């Protein structure tokens, strides 16, 4: 079922990226240069796109820890699975925090969904829609990671304790399902990074 | 030892891979991300930039789906069912490329600022 959900989510993000492509290709006003827009000045040095690069590495690292959490889940290693899931959640929360910082910075600089100081007005609407939707996915993922890590830690899946909402028996399979969702969020970021920030 | 073998078999059900595999893929993802960042850092332009960005993107996506999401070890039917529909989105992309070029042309012809 998670695969079916991910497929439908793929279409949602495809539509966002497609509408962004259409807006960018059809506008007669120059598109703002993302390399400059997302540049940061660190210790007096002007580095292009550095925050986005760090966010990319953080999300990839979270995917790595999640993959290992799934692996330990199959080995029924409760402590390591829960710990790695919490590390993943921490990476995810860091990512969302940096995204909040980035949004704040851009809003302070005058980027709005209906306009910005550097060029095509569609830049703001595309940016807020695409990164906002992705950030929402990461946030939901962090919440579920913490919830499932708690269940793993408590040993719910060893005693097949019934779920609070569903009353169905818990299994370690949920760790793999959680992993699928999390890797998908990372996967979407790969495409956003390529098409929105690097293009 | 048949008992031990049996439990080993039940535990081995699903995805059992050495941790090293994930670390190697993780390392490659870092390398590829650094590569795509350097494309921007050195300000490459034109077809070289686009082909490099797309190459790194496809390799990263492939690694994540194949290894992290375990698609490489799934049934072929699932792989086709999940991977084929997103590929067909490319048709939609092609349609929208024509559409936006048309819109762009009309905007230039009819809505150009008065000179």
**Which residue of B19, B53, B97 is in closest CB contact with A199?**
B53
How many Å lie between the alpha carbon of A113 and the closest alpha carbon of chain B? 20
Q: Are residues B53 and B98 in the same domain?
A: no
Task: Please write the tens of the pLDDT for every residue from A110-147.
Answer: 899 998 888 888 999 999 999 999 999 999 999 999 99
- Give the domain extent around B109: 75-115
B40/A35 touch (CB, cutoff 8 Å), yes or no: yes
How many Å lie between the alpha carbon of B46 and the closest alpha carbon of chain A? 10
A53/B23 touch (CB, cutoff 8 Å), yes or no: no
A199 Cβ under 8 Å from any chain B Cβ: yes
Q: Are residues B55 and B99 in the same domain?
A: no
Per the document, the length of chain A is: 199
Mean pLDDT (chain B) is 84
A186/B40 touch (CB, cutoff 8 Å), yes or no: no
A167 Cβ under 8 Å from any chain B Cβ: no
Task: Please write the tens of the pLDDT for every residue from A103-114.
Answer: 999 999 889 999
The span from the CA of A146 to the CA of A144, in Å, is 5
Indicate which of B8, B75, B83, B100 best probes the interface with A, i.e. most A CBs within 10 Å of its own CB.
B100
Predicted pLDDT of residue A199: 82
A:8-37 residues touching chain B, CB 8 A cutoff:
10-11, 14, 18, 21-23, 25-28, 35
Neighboring chain A residues of B62 at a CB cutoff of 8 Å: none
The span from the CA of B24 to the CA of B72, in Å, is 16
Q: Are residues B52 and B79 in the same domain?
A: no
How many Å lie between the alpha carbon of A178 and the closest alpha carbon of chain B? 10
Predicted pLDDT of residue B26: 93
Q: Are residues B51 and B83 in the same domain?
A: no
End-to-end alpha-carbon separation of chain B, Å? 90
Q: Are residues B112 and B65 in the same domain?
A: no
Segments of chain A assigned E as strands: 40-42, 45-47
- Pick from A142, A63, A52: nearest CA to A103: A52
Q: Are residues B82 and B100 in the same domain?
A: yes
Task: Please write the tens of the pLDDT for every residue from B53-81.
Answer: 999 999 999 999 999 999 989 899 999 99
User: Is ipTM over 0.90?
Assistant: no
- Domain holding A30: CATH number? 1.20.120.80
A194/B57 touch (CB, cutoff 8 Å), yes or no: yes
Provide mean pLDDT across the span B83-104.
94
The span from the CA of B104 to the CA of A112, in Å, is 23
How many Å lie between the alpha carbon of A165 and the closest alpha carbon of chain B? 26
Q: Are residues B58 and B90 in the same domain?
A: no
Q: Are residues B68 and B81 in the same domain?
A: no
Is the predicted pLDDT of residue A175 greater than 60, yes or no?
A: yes
* Residue indicated by tokens 């077809």: B47
A64/B70 touch (CB, cutoff 8 Å), yes or no: no
Provide mean pLDDT across the span B83-90.
92
Three-state SS at A45: strand
Share of chain B above pLDDT 70, in %: 85
Predicted pLDDT of residue A164: 80
Contacts with B34 (C-beta within 8 Å, 6 or more apart), sequence order: none
Question: Are the CB atoms for A170 and A157 separated by under 8 Å?
Answer: yes
Q: Are residues B68 and B89 in the same domain?
A: no
B41/A49 touch (CB, cutoff 8 Å), yes or no: yes
Task: Please write the tens of the pLDDT for every residue from B1-23.
Answer: 344 444 444 444 567 788 899 99
Three-state SS at A115: strand
* Count of domains forming chain A: 1
* Count of domains forming chain B: 2
Q: Are residues B66 and B23 in the same domain?
A: yes
Contacts with A127 (C-beta within 8 Å, 6 or more apart), sequence order: A106, A111, A196
Q: Are residues B65 and B29 in the same domain?
A: yes
The span from the CA of B52 to the CA of B57, in Å, is 8
Provide mean pLDDT across the span A151-164.
87
Q: Are residues B42 and B96 in the same domain?
A: no
Neighboring chain A residues of B57 at a CB cutoff of 8 Å: 190-191, 193-194
Predicted pLDDT of residue B1: 37
**Which helix (H) or strand (E) element contains residue A51?**
helix A50-74
- Pick from B104, B73, B25, B95: nearest CA to A120: B104
Q: What is the CA radius of gyration of chain A?
A: 19
- Pick from A191, A77, A2: nearest CA to B82: A2
């Amino acid at each position: 079922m998670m695969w079916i959900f991910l497929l439908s989510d793929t279409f949602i993000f495809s539509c966002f990226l497609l509408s962004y492509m259409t807006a960018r290709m059809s506008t007669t006003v120059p598109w703002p240069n993302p390399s400059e827009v997302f540049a940061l000045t660190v210790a007096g040095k002007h580095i292009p796109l550095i925050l986005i690069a760090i966010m990319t590495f953080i999300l990839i690292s979270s995917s790595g820890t999640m993959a290992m959490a799934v692996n330990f889940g199959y080995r029924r290693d409760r402590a390591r699975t829960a710990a790695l899931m919490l590390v993943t959640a921490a990476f995810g929360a860091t990512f969302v925090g940096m995204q909040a910082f980035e949004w704040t910075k851009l809003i302070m600089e005058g980027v709005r969904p209906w306009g910005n100081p550097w060029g095509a007005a569609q830049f703001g609407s595309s940016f807020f829609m695409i990164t906002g939707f992705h950030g929402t996915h990461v946030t939901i993922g962090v919440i579920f990671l913490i919830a499932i890590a708690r269940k793993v830690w408590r040993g719910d899946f060893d005693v097949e304790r019934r779920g609070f909402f569903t009353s169905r028996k818990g299994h370690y399979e949920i760790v793999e399902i959680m992993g699928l969702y999390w890797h998908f969020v990372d996967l979407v970021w790969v495409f956003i990074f390529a098409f929105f920030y690097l293009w | 030892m048949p008992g031990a073998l049996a439990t080993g078999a039940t535990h081995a059900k699903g995805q059992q891979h050495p941790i090293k595999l994930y670390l190697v893929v993780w390392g490659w993802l870092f390398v590829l991300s650094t590569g795509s960042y350097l494309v921007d850092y050195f300000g490459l332009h034109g077809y070289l930039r686009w082909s490099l960005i797309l190459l790194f993107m496809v390799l990263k996506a492939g690694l994540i789906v194949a290894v992290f999401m375990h698609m490489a070890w799934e049934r072929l039917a699932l792989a086709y069912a999940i991977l084929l529909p997103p590929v067909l989105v490319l048709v939609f992309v092609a349609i929208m490329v024509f559409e936006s070029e048309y819109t762009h042309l009309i905007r230039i012809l009819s809505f150009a600022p008065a000179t």
